[in-house]
Amino acid sequence: MTFNFDNVYIEECATVCGPYEKKGPLKKYFDKTYDDLYFGEDSFEKAEIKLVKDSLVMLLKKSGYKKEEIDLVIGGDLLNQITASCYGCNGIGNGFIGIYGACSSSVLGLIIASTMINSGYINNSICVVSSHNMSSEKQFRYPTEYGAPRPNSSTFTSTGSGSCLLSNNKSNIKVECATLGGIVDYEQNDPNDMGRVMAPSVIDTLKRHLDDTKRDIHYYDLVLTGDLGKYGVEIVKDYMNTNYGIVMDNYNDCGVLLYDLEKQKDVHAGASGPACSALVAYSYIYQLMINKKIKRVLLMATGALFSPTLLFQKENINSICHAISLEVV
Amino acid sequence: MRNTKYNKIADRHKAEENRTKNLLIAFVSGGIIGFLGELIIEVFCLWMKMSRSDASSVMILLFIFIASFLTALGVFDKLANKFRCGLLIPITGFAHSMTSSALDYKKEGLIYGIGSNMFKLAGNAIVYGVVSAWIFGLIRYFLGGVV
């Protein structure tokens, strides 16, 4: 399903991140960075809420909007009951929608907001996503201090929050169209190899996007996936080339860009988490577009719809990918 | 069909895992722990004139304390990542799993946090330890106590 938007623009973006991301190559593009993982709070869950609040405050400051001038806030994160968004967005905007698309929440939020703005019901909207390495570890894997050795295919949940203000005021970057992805099940079930789990969703959504819009892949200066990591990226490239003859030389992945994979060995295959795609797209890619270094970007956030409970009950891990096309005008 | 095709391509881009190296590291680091344990028992037997069973209890206590203390300092998980399962299989790993769970849930309070979650990982070892002790006890009973 592909929608076209006529009057949706990105007005401003804000990013806040933790110490691992600060050590990465994109440090200078982030608005605010922290040196520890607690950010002055006493638990990791509260720390993640703080991240959301910080990025919203930063976004309002940068854009000059007041809290009550925001029509709609859309928030998503990985915690149970999307608590980081629910608590973090409290007090900002006139309406709130909490969404769960796992790590694809960033683009899912943008699509929902763009549709609402394009329909004329609202004038502006903030989309915010967050993730925290430690709160996710605690919820999905082992206790945070537990030293379970991880395989090289595993990815590292990024710590940070990215927010983006969309509105119908003309700005430099236009949200041009979007393809909403469906749930994809390729019978994958290794939680330590999320690149392999999520690559099918990218293939599926990308193929449908290109078919719907009748575009060549080189229409875009950059195709950017969310958090496949270095092995998932190779799978997508190989599959697209083998099966559809599409050569993806304009392709990169936020999970590969966020950390220095040579120096930061702890992250193994790359970054993951809803914040991963937001941190890269709303800082580095946004700056590249503002400076007109690249003009057309297809942002494809990928999510593994993964529940530890159902995995133990021998179910597969499904995945989903949403794509949004951004253009410099 | 679709999945087989995908798996074939995905298998070409699998992460390399150096199993031999991990195995050797775990073997050596686990061995060193065993060696240290034996050394401590000998030292206690010789110098403190303890019986061998008393000395081994003290050694176990000492290892549990060290592992828990290092977990609390945030060092043990980094060591475990370096020395792989060599540190997780001995009693040090058991202590580490309990302390790390307790630390994780300390904010939820003594009852709903630490009390309910401390055995999250260690519970496995206790449950199946008791079950296998029961099975082996039964076998021993039927063999008439000859083994």
Residue A160, φ and ψ in degrees, nearest 5: 165, 175
Stretch A100-105: mean pLDDT? 95
Do A249 and A321 belong to one domain? yes
Do A100 and A55 belong to one domain? yes
Stretch among A109-113, A142-146, A197-201 having the lowest mean pLDDT: A142-146
Do A112 and A239 belong to one domain? no
Per-residue confidence at B146, pLDDT binned at 50, 70, 90? low
Interface touch B107/A43, C-beta < 8 Å: yes
Interstrand relation of A318-328 and A296-305 (parallel, antiparallel or unpaired): antiparallel
Report the alpha-carbon distance of residue B22 to residue A149 in Å, rounded.
Answer: 10
Domain count, chain A: 2
Stretch A164-178: mean pLDDT? 96
The domain that holds A193 is classified in CATH as 3.40.47.40
Residues of B within 8 A of A135 (CB-CB) are: none
Do A30 and A130 belong to one domain? yes
Cα torsion A291, A13, A43, A74 to 10°: value is -150
Interface touch B5/A243, C-beta < 8 Å: yes
Q: Nearest Cα to A223, choosing from A326, A144, A115, A297?
A: A297
Do A81 and A16 belong to one domain? yes
Distance from the Cα of residue A188 to its chain's centroid: 22
Whole-number pLDDT of residue B109: 93
Would the pLDDT of A209 be above 70? yes
Do A160 and A230 belong to one domain? no
Q: Do residues A37 and A44 make contact, with C-beta atoms less than 8 angstroms apart?
A: yes
Do A162 and A179 belong to one domain? no
Domain ranges of chain B: 2-86, 105-147
Would the pLDDT of B22 be above 60? yes
Would the pLDDT of A63 be above 80? yes
Would the pLDDT of A221 be above 90? yes
Report the alpha-carbon distance of residue A171 to residue A102 in Å, rounded.
Answer: 29
Do A96 and A190 belong to one domain? no
Last residue of a domain, one of A167, A202, A221: A167
Would the pLDDT of B25 be above 80? yes
**DSSP letters spanning A174-204:** EEEEEE----B------TT-HHHHHHHHHHH
Share of chain B above pLDDT 90, in %: 75
> Is B15 in CB contact (< 8 Å) with chain A?
yes
> Is B100 in CB contact (< 8 Å) with chain A?
yes
Last residue of a domain, one of A135, A167, A199: A167
Do A163 and A177 belong to one domain? no
Report the alpha-carbon distance of residue B64 to residue A297 in Å, rounded.
Answer: 54
Report the alpha-carbon distance of residue A232 to residue A199 in Å, rounded.
Answer: 6
Tell me the pLDDT tens digit for each residue of B87-141.
Answer: 888 889 999 999 999 999 999 999 999 999 999 999 999 999 999 999 999 999 9
Share of chain A above pLDDT 90, in %: 95
Do A162 and A297 belong to one domain? no
Last residue of a domain, one of A113, A142, A167: A167
Do A147 and A9 belong to one domain? yes
Stretch A154-160: mean pLDDT? 95
Residue A314: exposure state from Cβ atoms within 10 A (0-12, 13-18, ≥19): exposed
Quote the mean pLDDT of chain A: 95
Interface touch B10/A243, C-beta < 8 Å: no
**DSSP letters spanning A230-284:** HHHHHHHHHHIIIII----TTEEEHHHHSS-TTT-GGGTT-EESHHHHHHIIIII
Whole-number pLDDT of residue B98: 94
Domain that holds residue A76: 2-167
Do A192 and A148 belong to one domain? no
Give the N- to C-terminal CA distance of chain B in Å, as an integer. Answer: 55
Would the pLDDT of B147 be above 80? no
Whole-number pLDDT of residue B145: 66
Tell me the pLDDT tens digit for each residue of A234-272.
Answer: 999 999 999 999 999 999 999 999 999 999 988 999 999
Stretch A187-202: mean pLDDT? 94
